[in-house]
Structures are given as C-alpha cells and as structure tokens.
C-alpha cells in the first residue's frame, strides 16, 4: 500500500493522537508519515481563545493542507472541530471515545485561583463556585500542569482524556460528573478528517470508525449546530448510548455563571442527528442564546 501522510498539530498531545492513529493505519498495512502543521490557535498564545473569535482556530491550516492534497488525513481533537466543514472535506472516522469528563488538578479552597482557557468550564464553575477567581490559562497540557505545580494557580481544569493519553492521570485530583458538569461537544474523542473524494485516506480512516462514538458525536454536534455556536461558547453536551437508545443532555451557561439552562432528549441511535437538533431547540426555547 502507498504511504499515507497524516496532518497534525505539533503539541505533545496532538502528536500522541497522530501516532495512535498512525499505529492503527500501520496495522492495516499502510506506511505513514506525520506532517506537523502550525495552526492559528498555536501561533497566538498570549490572548484568551474567547477573544480571538474565529472558528477553526486549531483546524483551518490543517484543512487547507487536506484540500491542497499535501496530506491524506488529519487527526483532530473532536471538540476543536467546527460544526460546519469546508466543502470537499468529511469526518471519515470517530474512533472509540476516551473519557469525556473534565478533571480538576489541585485544590479549590475558598477564593481559589483557578486556571482554564474554556468559557464553558469557567461559566459552569462560576455557577457552582462563585467565590473562585478564574484566570485564563493557555499552553499545552504540560505547560498548564507546570504552571499549577509552580503555584500560579490553586487548581486548573483540563479534559481528563488528554491527561490519560499522556499518562498523567495521577495528577487528577477529582473527576467531574458529566451529568452535572457537562463536557464540551466531542470531548474525549478524536475526529479523522479526509477529503470526500473516496480516496485512500477516506477508506483507511473509515475502518477506524466506532459506531457508538459516531452516534453520540453526531447528536452532540447537531445540538451545537442548532444553537448556532462554535467551539468558544459556554455550552456543553454529552450523549451516551444504552441498549440502542441515545440519551443526550446539554447546558448553556451565562458568562457570569448566574444562569444555567439545561435540557435532555433521547431516541433511537439511528436518529442521532434529529435527537441533537431536538436538544438544541429545547435549549433555545428555554431561553438559551449563543
């Protein structure tokens, strides 16, 4: 088989993810090469993500390489993916999902200084702990852990999946219940993007698709799309599949944490897209606006 070129960001976690997929492609009989591509989100490190305001902060340049044909497939964190893809591209696989939960590293005494770059995490934390002082935290996982260990923050909030993948789960102080502290859309999952030309990249990636993960992410992404949101909004959604029934709940929180709107939806897994849309509509009807 011919070589497959994998596009990836250059962070430690992104390269772990790319190598994880490369190993599966190698098992299929492909030779692989990883092409590191720096994205806008990687270049701008001194401004809060919520203030940059562009969708696709961590995907745009990689998608341009896909469309140009210089890479065959791209490995993304699913939560970084905008709900609308450029024409000519498709999400060919959602491999089996890792832990979707958020995690606390450190302790949160009264008036604790807490670091996060996520509006969703900040807003949800404010809604349950209005006393804490939430400050912006940028950098890769290792950098964030170092800043907390140095005492710049009493605690930080990160996705459990990234810590587990990098072997740092022993740093986790507490896992947050996804039924209460709702994760980002797609959190814990990878998304493999390819051209929609039916070529070698698409066919190789499609073999790694996990049907349960795809159903859950289809619903979560449909809910976000129905709300008209992107990655940088205080909204979370989490879907699970039980005995063929897909159950999803979502939350939209005001930036000050004072208002939290929740909704639920469920139905057959085959109807995942419509279930997600239903959730988004319920949140809108309850007063959510992104």
Q: pLDDT, tens digit, for every residue of 179-197?
A: 999 999 999 999 999 999 9
* Whether residues 72 and 14 fall in one domain: yes
Answer whether residue 83 is part of any domain.
yes
* Whether residues 127 and 171 fall in one domain: yes
Residue 271 has pLDDT above 70, yes or no: yes
User: Which residues partner with 102 through β-bridges?
Assistant: 159
| Nearest Cα residue to 184 out of 81, 42, 256, 91 | 81
Q: pLDDT, tens digit, for every residue of 136-178?
A: 998 889 999 999 999 999 999 999 999 999 999 999 999 999 9
* Whether residues 51 and 29 fall in one domain: yes
The CA angle 202-66-86, to the nearest 5 degrees, is: 90
Confidence label for 49 from pLDDT (cuts 50, 70 and 90): low
Answer whether residue 137 is part of any domain.
yes
Answer whether residue 290 is part of any domain.
no
Residues designated as active site:
80
Answer whether residue 183 is part of any domain.
no
* Whether residues 23 and 162 fall in one domain: no
Q: Can you give the CATH number for the domain in which 251 is found?
A: 3.30.160.40
Percent of residues, the chain, with pLDDT higher than 90: 84
Answer whether residue 180 is part of any domain.
no
Distance CA 190, CA 227 (A): 22
Local structure of 212: helix, strand or coil: helix
Print the domain residue range for 145. 102-175
* Whether residues 8 and 91 fall in one domain: yes
Confidence label for 231 from pLDDT (cuts 50, 70 and 90): very low
Residue 283 has pLDDT above 60, yes or no: yes
Answer whether residue 53 is part of any domain.
yes
Please give the pLDDT value at position 58. Answer: 78
Check: CB of residue 171 under 8 Å from CB of residue 115: no
Distance CA 239, CA 200 (A): 31
* Whether residues 7 and 90 fall in one domain: yes
* Whether residues 66 and 202 fall in one domain: yes
Rounded to two decimals, the pTM is 0.93
Q: pLDDT, tens digit, for every residue of 98-124?
A: 999 999 999 999 999 999 989 999 999
Confidence label for 48 from pLDDT (cuts 50, 70 and 90): low
Distance CA 256, CA 108 (A): 19
Minimum mean pLDDT range among 33-37, 47-51, 159-163, 234-238: 47-51
Instruction: Report the chain's mean pLDDT, rounded to a whole number.
Output: 93
Residue 131 has pLDDT above 50, yes or no: yes
Residue 93 has pLDDT above 90, yes or no: yes
* Whether residues 52 and 195 fall in one domain: yes
Q: Average pLDDT in the 201-217 region?
A: 97
Answer whether residue 278 is part of any domain.
yes
Please give the pLDDT value at position 280. Answer: 95
Confidence label for 289 from pLDDT (cuts 50, 70 and 90): confident
* Whether residues 65 and 146 fall in one domain: no
* Whether residues 33 and 80 fall in one domain: yes
* Whether residues 132 and 273 fall in one domain: no
Q: Can you give the CATH number for the domain in which 74 is found?
A: 3.40.190.10
117: left (phi > 0), else alpha (psi -120 to 50), else beta? alpha
Check: CB of residue 188 under 8 Å from CB of residue 159: yes
Answer whether residue 215 is part of any domain.
no
| Nearest Cα residue to 45 out of 62, 56, 58 | 58
Residue 35 has pLDDT above 80, yes or no: yes
Count of domains for the chain: 3
* Whether residues 8 and 72 fall in one domain: yes
Confidence label for 45 from pLDDT (cuts 50, 70 and 90): low
């Amino acid at each position: 088989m011919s070589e497959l070129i994998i596009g990836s960001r250059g962070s430690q976690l992104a390269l772990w993810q790319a190598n994880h997929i490369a190993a599966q492609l190698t098992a299929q009989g492909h030779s692989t090469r990883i092409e590191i591509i720096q994205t806008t989100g990687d270049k701008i490190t001194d401004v809060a993500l919520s203030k940059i305001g562009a969708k696709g902060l961590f995907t745009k340049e990689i998608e341009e390489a896909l469309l140009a044909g210089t890479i065959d497939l791209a490995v993304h964190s699913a939560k970084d993916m905008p709900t609308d893809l450029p024409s000519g591209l498709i999400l060919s696989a959602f491999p089996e999902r890792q832990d979707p939960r958020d995690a606390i590293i450190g302790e949160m005494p009264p008036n604790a200084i807490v670091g996060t770059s996520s509006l969703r995490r900040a807003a949800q934390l404010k809604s349950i702990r209005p006393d804490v002082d939430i400050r912006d935290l940028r950098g890769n996982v290792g950098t964030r852990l170092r800043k907390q260990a140095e005492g710049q923050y009493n605690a930080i909030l990160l996705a459990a999946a990234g810590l587990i993948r990098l072997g740092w789960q022993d740093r986790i102080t507490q896992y947050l219940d996804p039924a209460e502290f709702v994760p980002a859309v797609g959190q814990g999952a990878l998304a493999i993007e390819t051209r929609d030309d039916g070529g070698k990249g698409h066919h190789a990636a499609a073999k790694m698709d996990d049907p349960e993960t795809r159903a859950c992410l289809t619903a979560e992404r449909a809910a976000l799309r129905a709300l008209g949101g992107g990655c940088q909004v205080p909204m979370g959604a989490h879907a699970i599949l039980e005995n063929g029934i897909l159950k999803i709940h979502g939350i939209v929180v005001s930036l000050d944490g004072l208002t939290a709107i929740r909704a639920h939806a469920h139905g057959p897994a085959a109807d995942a897209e419509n279930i997600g849309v239903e959730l988004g509509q319920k949140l809108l009807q309850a007063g959510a606006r992104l």
